[in-house]
Homo-oligomer: A and B are copies of this chain.
Amino acid sequence: MRQPDNKLRLGMVGGGEGAFIGAVHRAAANLDGRIRLVCGNFSREPDNNQRTGASLGLTANRVYPDWPSMIRAEAALPESERMQALSIVTPNQLHVPITEAALDAGFHVFCEKPAGITLAEVTRLQRRLAASDRHYGLAHTYLGYPLVHQARHMVRNGKLGQIRKIYADYRQGWLAGGLEYSGNKQAGWRTDPSQAGASGCMADIGTHTFGLAEFVSGHKITRLCAELHSHIDGRQLDDDGSALFRTDGGASGVLTASQVCAGEENDLTLRIYGEHGGLEWHQMQPDTLVHRRANGDIHLLRAGTDREYLLPTTRHSLRLPAGHPEGYLEAMANLYRDFASAILDGTPCAIPGIDNGLRGMAFIDAMLRSGGHWTELEIPSTEPHTTGVKA
């Protein structure tokens, strides 16, 4: 039986006052009107937890003191009432434990990236999901941008010819100073190995450059030679790094992720070149895709529902005609919307999932192991999960 309002009932762990990404997930989930937040455990601090729940219009009995009790209690509710999927927006070290508990109780999961903090635990999770029918979405938000899909399909359709070079850069500046020593919550956990895992910058944004490079090129990065750096006294995790790499499709490239490029915002850029041309995309101007042809022609592709030169899949993930900018929230909303459709309507769930998460963990692992030497990505042999972009 279906809720009369035909909306996905979502629960959330994390995202209390002072957190950043939780509110972003909620806005993205709200945008298309197909998801309703029904319960949450937003903070380990009881006051924060209750305040957040109340401000979101939840009744007190569905604001839970901790995530195990939430999963237990929700599972005990009537099927037509209980949450159907759980959104996990906690620090990284909890991603796998909560996901596993949610799956145990039969819930679908939508998780902030990275999927976990070790390659081993994410491999375990992948295998488990591959054997289940639950959906698992991973918030690789940048892969929700319409023109990123357009780029991927142009590459697949041979517009660039054989791909040769891939450059993916993500430059931030917010950790150029020692923000973690000034009480900033975000900076605090992201630089703390016990919460963030063995990597800082690579886990936080390096995985975005990696994921974007693979998603658009359709290639798999097989080996890399990387150096990681840390620029603040006492900081235990990497805040910066770059790698030369090779792909299974015969391309090579460079990947950079840094959080100490003082003054930079979220300068994620992809440049990809084949025999016949190149594509350039900037996250900070996501509604333009630059297509250069070998003869020097430069074409600007623009996001917009009214742009017939865009592929149907691209236009499907747009809401507005060209020139009315859609941004980051809309990109994440695209992931949530397709996740909800998969559960409510049984459509295929072609959003980033655990298979992407597993490759991302293998990437982080290789970056940490490289130490300036060429290193293979070690991808455990697994079966693919149903959620996820298919080659």
Chain A residues with a Cβ under 8 A of chain B: 4-7, 20, 23-24, 26-27, 30-33, 37, 54-59, 160, 164-165, 167, 169, 171-174, 176-177, 225-227, 229, 231, 240, 242-244, 252-254, 256, 258, 260-267, 271, 273-278, 283-286, 292-300, 302, 304, 306-309, 319-330, 372, 374
Contact = CB atoms under 8 A, between A and B. Distances in A.
Contacts of A329: 31, 319-320, 326, 329-330
Contact of A164 (B231, B273, B308): B231
A384 B170 CA distance: 39
Nearest to A324: B328
A293 B244 contact: no
A296 B307 contact: yes
Contacts of A23: 319
Q: Which one of A4, A30, A263 has the greatest number of beta carbons of chain B within 10 Å?
A: A263
Q: Across chains A and B, which 9 residue pairs bring their CB atoms closest together, nearest first?
A: A263-B292, A265-B323, A266-B323, A325-B327, A5-B57, A324-B328, A298-B300, A262-B294, A265-B322
Given A164-B260, A176-B294, A262-B275, A225 B27 contact: no
B24 A273 contact: no
A50 B118 CA distance: 50
Contact of A324 (B309, B322, B327): B327
Q: How many copies does the complex hold?
A: 4
Contacts of A253: 242
B262 A293 contact: yes
A92 to B, nearest CB: 19
A177 B300 CA distance: 22
B244 A372 contact: yes
A274 B296 contact: no
A59 to B, nearest CB: 6
Contact of A33 (B37, B260, B263, B372): B37
B325 A325 contact: yes
A39 to B, nearest CB: 13
B304 A265 contact: yes
Given A30-B31, A57-B5, A242-B254, A296 B292 contact: no
A262 B254 contact: no
Contact of A262 (B6, B274, B323): B274
A308 B325 CA distance: 24
13 contacts: A5-B59, A30-B31, A164-B231, A173-B273, A176-B276, A177-B275, A225-B372, A227-B252, A262-B278, A262-B292, A265-B323, A284-B323, A295-B309
A275 B233 CA distance: 13
Contact of A252 (B173, B229, B277, B322): B229
Given A31-B30, A31-B329, A258-B165, A278 B265 contact: no
A266 B258 CA distance: 25
B277 A165 contact: no
Nearest to A7: B57
Nearest to A265: B323
B27 A56 contact: no
Contacts of A227: 225, 244, 252
A243 B252 CA distance: 12
**Interface core residue of A165, A262, A326 (most chain B CB under 10 Å):** A262
A206 to B, nearest CB: 14
Contact of A320 (B24, B30, B278, B300): B24
A52 to B, nearest CB: 12
Contact of A26 (B6, B33, B330): B33
Contacts of A5: 57-59
